[in-house]
Amino acid sequence: MSAGAAGPDDRDLRAAEYVLGTLPAAERAAFEHERTIDPVSAAAVRAWEDRLAPLVLAIPEEQPSPRVWEAIVRALPGGAANDNRVRDLSRQVGRWRLATAGAGLVAAGLGLFVALAPRLAPTPAPPTGGRYVAVVTSGGALPALIVNIDTATGTASVRPVKAEAPAGRSLQLWYVGAGEAPKPLGLIGTDASRIPLPDAARTGQGVFAVSVEPPGGSPTGQPTGQVIYTGQLIRD
Amino acid sequence: MRDDAVLTRLLRDIAGQDQAALRTLYDLTAAQLYGIILRIQRDRSAAEDVLQDVYLRVWQAAGSYTPEAGRPLSWLCAIARNRAIDVVRRKGEVQGPVHEDGEDWLERLADPSDSETRLLSRDALRACLGRLDPAHRDCVVLAYCQGYSREELAQRYDRPVNTIKTWLHRALASLKGCLEVVS
């Protein structure tokens, strides 16, 4: 092949070497541009990707560290790190005198948590049309859910900030009154929602918890999966 | 499961800004993509930066994926390989020696425990690679699987860079001709 030739064979070989990764940096950058404006070059790249793709099956898998996913979530547009409202909220967390269960409880079963809940519960506040907030966290710096309780209307507004359901599972929100069994409040979607409250929650006592459940929620009416988030109500 | 339909649906959901879908895609494919990247960019920390960048690109580009662009896993692997190669070429760094040669890769490709689909195209590629001059074939495989540059191949085989370029072109042209006949 003569140097400088630009015939169809030359283009196909450049596409092949582009896919292979052996083009020198400057030629690689030039071809990167070429493939975006020349459909024939783009098609040649796809054809070479297909031809060589079975070779990736020979490459052993490697587990990346968990910090990679954490960094991805932080960097997502509209994700936690870029959401001004979340930054504001995380600044407010101190003012709310946040009382959350520590990270050590995250992996613990709800049974343990329920046993602890009465001791963790704050002194009951008079149930006179107050507003409460629960910042539900998994022990990290950022809240996973913000639960705003309006006792006047008897509703809770739930705004997921960073809560993510594992694949094929649902996240279910529970209210755990002092010394009581958990009451299912509803499934957590990706959008803010309003849900009616059990009467006991209107006093501002108790704890909110989120568990991982089968799709559609716990089949038993009690948490069956791991409790991944917990948070107490604080008078706003 | 990593079949085409599942991955295609996930990419469609990701195009709709579904972070849970991105997480699922990550769970299904990150180990494979990280394996690919780590062979090319052998520093684990730098390789993880590339992996992070790959999924952020997927987040942005998922809407541009069409079945005409190839199978979804090939599309993801191409993004991962391209990013890894971009990074090492841009730095112009020559990576340390590794103790695998093209033959090792070819044997791994023949691993019968592999239950992935595309056995036919894999066997065709293996057959056609097997017909190449062994040194030429090794250059192709080392470049693809381990990100060897022409210069690194020239060092390894103690030949001028232009000879390596000629080897690669011959090998790639034969491969293309062979695959047209075999598959």
Residues A136 and A182 in one domain: yes
> Chain A window 103-142: which residues touch B at a Cβ cutoff of 8 Å?
none
User: What would the two tokens of residue A233 be?
Assistant: 């109500």
Count the domains in chain A.
Answer: 2
A44 in any annotated domain: yes
| A9, A21, A72: residue with CB nearest B143 | A21
Residue A200 has pLDDT above 50, yes or no: yes
Does A71 fall in a domain?
A: no
Q: Which CB contacts under 8 angstroms, 24+ apart, belong to A78-85?
A: A78/B17, A79/B19, A80/A142, A80/A161, A80/A162, A83/A161
- Do A173 and A223 fall into the same domain? yes
In angstroms, the CA B42 to CA B95 distance is: 8
Domain presence at residue A79: no
* Residue A135 to residue A99: CA distance in whole angstroms: 8
**Residue with tokens 């990706």, as numbered in its chain:** A190
pLDDT class of A154 with cuts at 50, 70, 90: confident
Statement to judge: residues A210 and A99 lie in one domain: yes
A67 or A184, greater pLDDT: A67
**Are residues A198 and A147 located together in one domain of the fold?**
yes
For position B179, what pLDDT does the model report?
Answer: 92
SS3 A81: helix
**CA-to-CA separations, A108 to A15, A197, B6, in angstroms, rounded:** 54, 25, 33
Q: Is the dihedral of CA B144, B145, B149, B150 positive or negative?
A: negative
Token pair for residue B53?
């960048």
| Least reliable range by pLDDT among A8-22, A105-119, B8-22, B80-94 | A105-119
Q: What pLDDT is stored for residue A50 in this prediction?
A: 87
Please check whether residues A47 and A113 belong to one and the same domain.
Answer: no
Average pLDDT, chain A: 68
pLDDT (mean) for A160-172: 71
pTM summary value: 0.58
- Among A95-109, A125-139, A202-216, B109-123, the minimum mean pLDDT is found in A95-109
- Burial class from Cβ neighbours inside 10 Å (0-12, 13-18, 19+) for residue A74 reads middle
Domains of chain B: 4-91 (1.10.1740.10), 102-182 (1.10.10.10)
Opening angle at CA B58, ends B64 and A87, nearest 5: 120
pLDDT digits (tens, 9 = 90+) for B95-106: 555 556 666 666
The CA distance from B134 to B152, in Å, is: 17
Res. A202: pLDDT tops 60: yes
Confidence band, pLDDT 50/70/90 cuts, at residue A225: confident
Is B144 close to A54, i.e. CB distance below 8 A? Answer: no
- Those residues whose C-beta lies under 8 Å from the C-beta of residue B130, and which sit 6 or more positions away, are B106, B137
Distance from CA of B97 to the nearest CA of A (A): 17
Is A83 part of any domain? no
ipTM given for this complex: 0.86
Query: Within this chain, do residues A46 and A157 fall inside the same structural domain, yes or no?
Result: no
Do A105 and A216 lie in a common domain? Answer: yes
Q: Residue A196's domain is classified under what CATH number? A: 2.60.40
**How many CB atoms sit inside 10 A of residue A46's CB?**
19
Task: Specify the DSSP element, H or E, that contains A211.
Answer: strand A207-213
From the centroid of its chain, how far is CA B56?
19
- What is the pLDDT, as a whole number, of residue A124? 41
The residue of B9, B77, B95, B142 whose CB has the most chain A CBs within 10 angstroms, and thus the best one to mutate to test that interface, is: B77
Q: Same structural domain for residues A36 and A101?
A: no
Residues A173 and A231 in one domain: yes
Please list, in sequence order, all residues whose beta carbon lies within 8 angstroms of the beta carbon of residue B97, skipping any fewer than 6 positions away. none
Flag whether pLDDT at A115 surpasses 50: no
* B178 → chain A, closest CA residue: A51
User: Could you read off the pLDDT of A47-85 as tens digits, one per residue?
Assistant: 999 899 888 878 889 999 999 999 999 888 655 433 333
**Least confident among A15-19, A91-95, A113-117:** A113-117
Q: How confident is the model at residue B45 (pLDDT cuts 50, 70, 90)?
A: very high
Of the pLDDT bands very low, low, confident and very high (cuts 50, 70, 90), residue A31 is very high
Asked if residue A229 and residue A113 are part of one domain, the reply reads: yes
Angle of helix B161-182 versus helix B134-146 axis, rounded to 10: 90
Q: Indicate whether A107 pLDDT > 50.
A: no
Instruction: Please tell me which residue, B113 or B3, carries the higher pLDDT value.
Output: B3
Mean pLDDT of A199-204: 66
* Lookup: tokens for A195: 């849900």
- Percent of chain B at pLDDT > 70 equals 83
A127 and A52 belong to one structural domain: no
In a domain, A1, yes or no: no
* Residue A160, in any domain of the structure: yes
For chain B, give the percent of residues with pLDDT over 90: 63
Cβ contact B32–A75 (<8 Å): no
Residue B38 has pLDDT above 90, yes or no: yes
- Per-residue model confidence (pLDDT) at position B59: 93
Asked if pLDDT for residue A159 goes beyond 80, the answer is no
User: Would residue A158 count as lying in a domain?
Assistant: yes
Question: Per residue in A10-25, pLDDT tens?
Answer: 899 999 999 999 999 8
Q: Which residues form the domain of A42?
A: 8-58
Handedness of CA B6, B7, B13, B17 (dihedral sign): positive
Indicate the residue of A21, A55, A164 with minimum beta-carbon distance to B19. A164
Any long-range contacts for B123-132 (C-beta under 8 Å, 24+ apart)? Answer: B124/B179, B124/B182, B124/B183, B125/A51, B125/A52, B125/A54, B125/A55, B125/B175, B125/B179, B126/A54, B127/B178, B127/B182, B128/B174, B128/B175, B128/B178, B128/B179, B128/B182, B129/B175, B130/B106, B131/B174, B131/B178, B132/B171, B132/B174, B132/B175
Is position A192 within any domain? yes
Cα A124 to Cα A28, A85, A178: the distances in Å are 68, 30, 10
Task: Average the pLDDT over B81-90 and give the result.
Answer: 90
Q: Which of residues 37-66 of A touch B (CB under 8 A)?
A: 46, 49-65
Taking CA atoms, what residue in A is nearest to B14? A76
pLDDT at A54: 87
